[in-house]
Amino acid sequence: MSHPAPSSSRRPRPWGTVGAGMAACAVCCAGPLLALLGGIGAASALASLWIPALAVVAVAAAVGAYVLRRRRRAAACKTTAGPVDLGLPAVGTARDDRVR
């Protein structure tokens, strides 16, 4: 006796197509992901070698900023001897400009 096939509204899933799609996705995305991870690894390896140089550059920048700040303060504190022009009109000029 043969049993009739169960009637269902679902179609059988094409697992072969889904598997092929997943494999294609893995092959497509693997290259860029590995390149990204490799780039991060290379950058971190290079950074580990350059940490002493980075410390030297940071110290040099701090010393340079200190020297510049000190020079600017010294220049700001200098005064010049003598009269200073304030850009105000003199007291007697209004009377001299009148027509007599």
pLDDT digits (tens, 9 = 90+) for 58-81: 999 999 999 999 888 777 777 777
Report CA-CA distances (Å) from 62 to 1, 53, 58, 66: 93, 14, 6, 6
| pLDDT at 14 > cutoff 70 | no
Neighbouring residues of 47: CB distance < 8 A, sequence distance ≥ 6: 54
Helices (H), 1-100: 15-77, 93-96
Q: Which amino acid is present at 67?
A: V
- Does the pLDDT value for residue 1 go beyond 70? no
